[in-house]
Amino acid sequence: MTVIAIDERICTGCQECTKICPNLAIEGLPHQPQKINEDKCVMCGQCVQKCKSYVSMAEHGFSAYQEVHAARGLPGTVTEPLFAAHNITHIMEVKNALADPNAYTLVQSAPAVRAAIAEDFGAPFGLVSAAKLAAALRKLGFDKVFDTNYAADVTIMEEGSELIHRVKNNGVLPMFTSCCPAWIRYLEMNYPDLRKHLSTCKSPQQMGGALFKTYGADLLKVPAKKIYSVSIMPCTAKQYESSRPEMNDSGERDVDVVLTTRELVWLIKDAGIDFLSLPDEQFDLPMGDYSGAAEIFGVTGGVMEAALRTGYELITGEKIPAIDISAVRGIDGFRKADIAVGDLTIKVGIVTGLKNVKPVMELLAAGKLDLHFVEVMTCPVGCVTGGGQPKLIDETCFESAFRQRISATYNHDKELPIRKSHENPSVQSLYKDYLKNPLGALSHKLLHTTYCGDKKSAH
């Protein structure tokens, strides 16, 4: 499946994309059009964020611009410069579904989306716009507006339980997070023999997709076949993930289509919606209910911290003494921490940016990685800097933008009344009424997977 492309008519061969590519998938000579080797591409979209070659109406004329515009299937309201490196858009598929009276449309939105989307409507960096995001999605015509954060809380219930099971039963350690599809693809390509170290948990997007078409379909009294499930993600690799053959445990394709944050912005503008003037609205319950732990999934170290908040209390049966776990926060390439959990010491590692994972994997292959749990995020400081986020043209503002997105995410976590995944009442109801137990039979069927490891599955 092609997710990322470089338009050779536009590419000037500046090679900014080659410098950022974590798996050396972009090939070509300097000052010549570059090409993507799809057998090596992890589809993270960082090349899309860094690309500097573009076509615009102002500099290249209407006909040159319109040719590229039409080829990409963009809405007519898109007038911004079009860059050589881009992700394949699925906007028209979503517009058609929203216009189809026979489709029941559900949408979920990842935590990192709300930390950045307002930037493309003129807001300053660091504005979390969850309530306006929910309102915009509803105004677009989605029948139900759910939240990937709900599924992130479910992910912690499953992943935390899996880690505890591995630690207590001499399972394969360290266990690596499995939320990031670009990281999983990298592992499959470069270290296939080490796949046993991956958590078997699906990503929150895919857990959400499976639950929406089973548990959700039952609650809504809508046949799963009628449900058209859309994800709004900061990540270009999520479209690839949703198309994997492993992701159909609901009996259908669990997530039908993925739009990036940028594509949602285009869709909102195309509908003539004034995003910043929208009244605040909430996500639909129960699958729009979330904790602060789910919110911090969007920043590096966030999945680790969320898991530790819940893991501590599941292991000890006591309240965690300090809910903010600063030892796992930060944006350095690879950091380690020892976390006291009752009588246990949990040794954790956090990899920020896929370019920093190779030395970690070499230690693992050599049997020298003495850790219990490792988080890996492909993008520079986590999902808030994903390949599908608003494109920052001025590189001098990168650091400021990244830090403010991170700060806003942690602030939103602190504002929420519930900050631990296992205390989310809607998640508690999910287990009580439907799943029964983390790692139970139904949980394993819907929420866990074993990756096939076949690169051809991506094409």
Q: What are phi and psi of 53, to 5 degrees?
A: -90, 130
Catalytic residue among 16, 119, 158, 159: 159
Does residue 59 have an active-site annotation?
no
Out of 158, 162, 188, 295, the active site residue is: 162
Residue of 21, 41, 44, 179 marked active site? 179
CA 222 to chain centre: 27
Residue 291: active-site member: no
Residue 433 region by backbone torsions, left for phi larger than 0, else alpha for psi between -120 and 50, else beta: alpha
Q: What angle do CA 432, 222, 107 make, to 5 degrees?
A: 80
CB 83, CB 108: distance < 8 Å: no
Question: Are 176 and 197 contacting, i.e. CB atoms less than 8 angstroms apart?
Answer: yes
Could you say which of 53, 109, 161, 199 is catalytic? 199
Tell me whether residue 281 is one of the annotated catalytic residues: no
- Catalytic hit among 238, 242, 291, 391: 238
- DSSP run (H or E) holding 370: none
Choosing from 119, 241, 295, 305, which is the catalytic residue? 241
Residue 274's nearest CA partner among 143, 138, 136 is 136
Catalytic residue among 38, 80, 246, 281: 246
Query: Distance between CA atoms of 440 and 164, rounded to whole angstroms?
Result: 14
Q: Is 80 a catalytic residue?
A: no
Taking the C-alpha atoms of residue 257 and residue 268, their distance in angstroms, rounded to an integer, is 17
Residues comprising the chain, all counted: 459
DSSP-assigned letters across all residues of 152-195: HHHHHHHHHHHHHHHHHTT-SSSEEP---HHHHHHHHHH-GGGG
Catalytic residue among 383, 391, 420, 443: 383
- Please state, in angstroms and rounded to a whole number, the distance separating the CA atoms of residues 23 and 165: 33
Q: Is residue 34 a contact partner of residue 6, using CB atoms and an 8 Å limit?
A: yes
| 246 in catalytic set | yes
Give the DSSP letter string of 49-113: HH---EE-HHHH-HHHHHHHHHHHT--TT--S-EESEEEPP-HHHHHHHHH-TT-EEEEEE-HHH
99-128 CB burial, b ≥16 within 10 A, e <16: eeeeebbbbbbbbbbbbbbbbbbeeebbbb
Residue 260 is classified by DSSP as E
- The residues assigned a catalytic role are 159, 162, 179, 199, 238, 241, 246, 383
